[in-house]
A and B are shown apart, each in its own frame.
Chain A
């Protein structure tokens, strides 16, 4: 049986502005410091168990351990269980662990609200005119990209090669609904040949499989850092995706990926071979094809479009849902809703993509950019269209083009507001978040799989959390309520 698809999403934001000459690291630090100083007590990140150099194919990269740790950079944990920090030269928000695509949408949206609040706090701290502006996109249009990564809990028993084999055709083609859209292209040699493409990221991928995230990016990343019991689980790190503003796109991106992973775990796709002859080239071919109909060469000689491949997987999933059920995708029929919306969106893409302008980012962006182009009789390389592309992703409500669109919602405002400070109730993020709410001053550091307490007298005490589905409200609410101090908690935990 497929294991519950615990998942998370992490976004690196584009950043501009700040005091003095623009320095993205200083601006990112100021942004996060301003938020933490105003809204929450600081608890640092614990790097003890990080090993980003371990490779899922079974080896560790030479010289990769200990990991590159930039501990001088701002790195903090929020009471909703998320991590908020400076990664390289960008502010990054990593959502807490969730058990459904719907929860991911809520906590991703909460992350946007936290960034918006951070911008306001930074302006108060730095003074008017020194404001910092944050963009939720993946490219500066000059060949520099930054990521939106997804993480999925996968059964360790599934051979990694099998995951790779079945995931690649899915990942290459999911951009038809998950793409955030881009005016033009940044791939070498493509300049001037692409007016508009489905994806922000397709231009930046050069390999099928590999460990890298900043150079020669691979379609399937092999980082083997489970942040949980590595005997039982792996954490599949998907680095290919675009940062979405559309809730439906985020929902489908995470929900359908979880569903495909569940089918792979249950050997449901074993007889279906959708292997592509040239996945890296196919990734761009799909992204550049607004007709969605161009055929891709399959290893078995067939020619299928991206849409055909998605339909093939969808039809398998429909049978899978009927025979096995989709409980592993969330508690409240989430999986059935993911399947329904996936089918509806594929139908819309097949009949007329523009009918999805209120659901998918790339369609929404294309509609306004192309409308503006027609109105002002502009050529596709006009700077104003490039500016619209960037400004679509501006998180300031008063400047954002996205926020002017009447897009379908998955979350409610109340849920998002709550998720800014309250953790999910059904993963270990609950224990992390609740301990931070109550005893931040006694927590020396936190990590995905542990909390480190400093009681002042003893050596530091580490509470391991190796099971992502333990430490939920059902497990620990009565324990936490019965403890008046962190010392009492540690005593009762026996750690």
Chain B
């Protein structure tokens, strides 16, 4: 896989670029975390009430 090895050798410069962009990255990271928090709030509301019973009763026989 000659081409692939070449790609891997190019990896270090990519990391440098990431470092320069760190402040924006952190901001983005916080935004992502806030989005996940909102999503988890929503999930909390719709999640099956009795998780243990729901998981236990979910039985599916006779599949391929």
Contacts and interface: CB of A to CB of B under 8 A. Distances in A.
Contact of B63 (A89, A141, A386): A89
A375 B40 contact: yes
B21 interface: no
A359 to B, nearest CB: 15
Interface in B30-62: 36, 39-40, 42-43, 46-48, 51-52, 54-55, 57-62
A390 interface: yes
Interface string A133-144: 000001111101
A419 B60 CA distance: 29
A14 B40 contact: no
Contacts of A322: none
A367 B36 contact: yes
Nearest to B60: A140
B54 A390 contact: yes
A144 B63 CA distance: 7
B50 to A, nearest CB: 9
B1 interface: yes
A239 B54 CA distance: 28
Given A315-B1, A401-B46, A16 B40 contact: no
Nearest to A351: B14
A277 interface: no
Contact of A312 (B4, B59, B62): B4
A371 B37 CA distance: 8
Contact of B47 (A88, A138, A388): A388
Contact of B64 (A14, A149, A311): A149
Nearest to B54: A387
B contacts with A: majority SS? helix
A4 interface: no
Contacts, number: 98
A140 B59 contact: yes
Interface in B15-39: 36, 39
Interface residues of A, number: 45
A24 interface: yes
A408 interface: no
Contact of B40 (A87, A308, A318, A372): A372
A384 interface: yes
Contacts of A401: 43, 46
Nearest to A392: B43
Interface in A107-152: 138-142, 144-147, 149
A12 B63 CA distance: 8
A214 interface: yes
A404 interface: yes
Given A147-B63, A213-B64, A390-B55, A311 B36 contact: no
A148 to B, nearest CB: 10
Interface centre among B42, B46, B52 (most CB of A within 10 A): B46
A146 B4 CA distance: 37
Contacts of A367: 36
A369 B50 CA distance: 17
Given A140-B59, A141-B58, A367-B36, A391 B47 contact: yes
A214 B47 contact: no
Contacts of B47: 384, 387-388, 391
Contacts of A15: 60
A484 interface: no
Nearest to A272: B1
A319 B39 CA distance: 42
A88 B60 CA distance: 11
A398 interface: yes
Interface string A354-372: 0000000000000110011
26 contacts: A15-B60, A16-B58, A24-B61, A88-B62, A88-B63, A89-B61, A89-B62, A89-B63, A139-B60, A140-B58, A142-B59, A308-B4, A311-B1, A312-B4, A315-B1, A318-B3, A368-B40, A371-B36, A371-B39, A386-B55, A387-B47, A388-B47, A390-B55, A399-B46, A404-B39, A404-B42
Interface of A: 12, 14-16, 24, 87-90, 138-142, 144-147, 149, 213-214, 239, 308, 311-312, 315, 318, 351, 367-368, 371-372, 375, 383-384, 386-388, 390-391, 398-399, 401, 404-405
Interface of B: 1, 3-4, 7, 14, 36, 39-40, 42-43, 46-48, 51-52, 54-55, 57-64
